Structures are given as structure tokens and as C-alpha cells.
Chain A
């Protein structure tokens, strides 16, 4: 059994074999693998006795349930107006230069995917970015650089 299949088995056991568990199960897969592969969706459909199209239908609705491969770390920079006013463009530029990617792309070593996000709920402390589930408010280019360097060192 593949590691994805094992993971799905665990998640189904934990959350229950019903449609109401679909979101927590998909979220659990993304937590581990950063995206939902075709195999994973087919497997979930089988486990929950749903059509694969149904699972894909739900998954493709949600920004955080990616159905294309992503890097090990997903960076989401808030692009909504308050963060825009506080200089999110410079943060995006800084990160793009460091990772040598544009928004929407994944770095060559597959360690990072850079995305923008709608309001992350830190308007009083913008600009702000999420890396995976961790939040980094009050950014400036220098601060963003050192945060990212820490992540790069870890790989």
C-alpha cells in the first residue's frame, strides 16, 4: 500500500466514513502532501463511496485544497487593500527574487511555492504572509528575507 493510501486509511478511520468527513480528510492529505494528487482523490472517493468527480468537485472549489503539485512550503502573501497600502508589492518582489520564481510558480528544487491570497485577517499589521500554517505579520523586505532564509536553511 502506498504512503498516500495509508494516510487516507488513517484519516478515514479518524474522521469517519461519511460525506461530512470529506473536508477534514482532504485537509489532512494536503497537510501532509501539500496537494491532492489524482490518486489521492480516487482513493478518497473509493473509501467514502463517492464518485471521483464529486471529490474533485469539492476539492477544486477551495483555494487551500490544491489539485496541482506544490512545493514543500507554500508561501501566501496577502494582496488585499490594507496590505497593498503597507507595501505588499515589495514583499512579493523580495520573495520572487530570493526564490527565483514568479507568483504562482514552484521553485526548481520543489521546496517553495509562491502564491498570493485574499485578506488573511491581519490588516492592522500588514503586510503579512502565511508559510504553510504559520503567520508572519508586520513584514518589511529585510524581515521577509531573514524569515525565508530560515526556511531555506531547514532544507
Chain B
């Protein structure tokens, strides 16, 4: 980075020069493969947290031989500290619909679903009205693609793609074994592209302005910009779109309250970065990737309380299907409570860290696998706060 200033951009919420019907027309004047190549060429990676290359996902799904395929917009935004998708769906829903329709065209899907978390039901009325209008306009274009709205019912795990399919099919939101991946067998076990809300907006942007415009932003490993949800001990809590690849130090300079002791990057399932590492931590796929949650803690906060809160969260939200996650979350929580009370020696924390790593390799899905991220990073960096 040449400068010490955060590179803020305004793409996601910018509505000038963005006639979504024209964007659709332009896409449909290209072949399906050309559209997919544009997305691959842009370097866009999923904005929900996992960061899978979007274009590849589309290509794999397009290559599947099936009469029925689906596009799903994952709006089950439940990661603590994230609220960007709600803001996007509230302010620029048409951009999301356009991204879905482009995907539908590219992979050959006729139906798209938005799975909106139940906590955001207040958005439904307005969203449904805008979906109806959009559907009407695509019919008028003779473009066979219809968007439907579905709701969640208060389960964090349903943000995991295969759990989300299970939920849409009327089952308990328990993740499936992978493979097969959604590109082969997703919703109704048909080839499915499932993308995050924000990813779909960048798709519209790339199709509107071209992949080169997107590539100009960010770094070699982290193309483009990203919407960050900033919360915690900051005078500037809110939503900010920033180029990827920034050092955490710059972020803290811009958003901290002058007394920042740690930043939790990526929500409860992300990593805790202590002050001493701010300078050599890059926010992006070459460093710590994030779905956008940035929680800032100042020196008045107890990191024991933070970790305790996260573990309670995971214990409640674990679907209970696989033992490493179900039992692991409970034991980690009980474990730090026992160390705090003095019922266990501080060295017990090493045992707990091993348990967390076991969960990382043995749990069935991302929920159980990622508990080691906050657990080990908080224990390693704030051990004394956990013990005393």
C-alpha cells in the first residue's frame, strides 16, 4: 500500500448509472460462457466468508447436465457482528435480483430463491413487492427466470449451504456430507449455485462495468472491494465498503477509539487479532479473510467474557448432529469456566486447545470446524485474562 489511508469505495450502494434491465440485456447479448468467463476473469470470490471463486462455481454448475437447476441467494446472515446483507437487501435489492438473473442465464436455471433469515422478516413485505415487479419485467423480456422469497426460522446453521437446502426442503437444518457439492447436488439435489447477497451485487457490477474495473481494486490475491460491518468499541459503527488487502493497523486507525486492544475479524467464527499484530495482519484472502464482521474491543473489555459469549453462541447454535461439535462446544465452554473458577489448572487450557483442533478436523461442517479460530486465538493472545 502506498498510502496510509483506507481506500473507501462506493460500488455496492451506488445507484447512479445502474439500470438493471440494461445490465440484463447486455449480459444476454453475450453467450453463457462469455458471462462466466467475465466473472472468472474478475477474480471475484464469495463474500459470505468462505471465499470460493464465484466464476468457477458457476462454471461447474453450468457444466452439469440437468433440466432443472437453481440459483440461491444466501441471505441467512447470522454471523455475530455482520449486518451488511440486511442493509444491501433494504437499500439496493434490485442489484441482488439482477445478479441472480445473470447467474440464472449463465448456468441455465429458471428459478431463483432468496433465503432470508427469520430475524429479518420485517424486510419481507417491501422485498416481495420489489421481487414481484422484477419478475414481471423479466417475463416482459421473455426471459424465463422467476425469483421466490423463502424465510428462515432462527437457526444460524442454516447459513451453511447444505443446511439451507435441507431447511428449504422442510427438514431440520442439518448440514449434509460433502461431496457431492451444491454445484452437482444442491436444492432438491439438483445442480445449484448458492451465492452470498453481496457476491451477487458484485456480479451485477462486473457485468455493468466490466471485469477490468473490478480488478483495479484490491490486491492480486484479493480482487475488488468488500462491505465491512463495523461494531464494538468504535465511534464509527456501521457499514463501510473498503478495498481488500488493507493492513489491520489502518483499519484500527480509522475506526478504533484510540484504545483498541483487539479486533475480532470475521465474527464469532473468525480470528481474534491482538494489538501487537495489527501491523502485519492483512484483511483479505492473503491474510485473514472475512465475511465482513469487524468487532473492535478496547482495553476495558474482558476477553474472557468475549470468548464465553462466543462459546455460548456456538453451543446453542450447533445443530447437534455430529459429536465433535455438539460435545466439543459444551466442553470448551465448561472448560474455560472451570479454569476461571480454579477447578482446573491453567495447563488445562492446552487440553482444550487440542480439543478445538480436533473439532477443526473432525466436525462435519464449517460451524464446528471454525470454533478453533476464536478459541485458540483468544487463548493464545489473552491467556492471563482467561485464567485470572
Q: Which residues of A contact B (CB under 8 A)?
A: 19-24, 26-27, 30, 57-58, 61-65, 80-82, 84-85, 117-126, 130, 133-135
Contact = CB atoms under 8 A, between A and B. Distances in A.
B122 A135 contact: yes
B388 to A, nearest CB: 21
Nearest to B320: A61
B301 interface: yes
B295 interface: yes
Contact of B153 (A19, A57, A65, A135): A65
B319 to A, nearest CB: 8
B83 A27 contact: no
How many interface residues does chain B have, given as a range? 35 or more
Contacts of B86: 121
Interface stretch (B101-109, B202-210, B228-236): B228-236
13 contacts: A19-B169, A23-B167, A57-B172, A65-B154, A80-B313, A85-B232, A117-B119, A121-B119, A123-B83, A123-B293, A124-B239, A133-B124, A134-B122
Given A24-B150, A61-B155, A124-B229, 14 more contacts: A23-B151, A23-B168, A26-B153, A80-B313, A85-B301, A118-B80, A118-B316, A119-B79, A119-B80, A119-B81, A124-B83, A124-B230, A124-B238, A130-B119
Given A64-B118, A82-B80, A121-B77, A27 B172 contact: no
A64 B153 contact: yes
Contacts of B179: none
Contacts of A85: 232-233, 301
A76 B361 CA distance: 35
A101 B151 CA distance: 30
Which 6 A-B residue pairs are closest in the complex by CB-CB distance? A22-B170, A63-B154, A123-B231, A124-B237, A62-B153, A64-B154
B260 interface: no
Contacts of B274: none
A80 to B, nearest CB: 5
A121 B120 contact: yes
Nearest to A30: B153
B172 A121 contact: no
A84 B233 CA distance: 12
Interface in B111-141: 117-122, 124
Given A80-B80, A82-B295, A120 B150 contact: no
Nearest to B297: A85
Nearest to A50: B170
B29 to A, nearest CB: 35
Contacts of A123: 80-83, 229, 231-232, 237, 293, 295
B78 A118 contact: yes
Contacts of A82: 80-81, 231-232, 295
B112 to A, nearest CB: 15
A123 B118 CA distance: 17
Nearest to B234: A124
Interface string B207-236: 000000000000000000000011111000
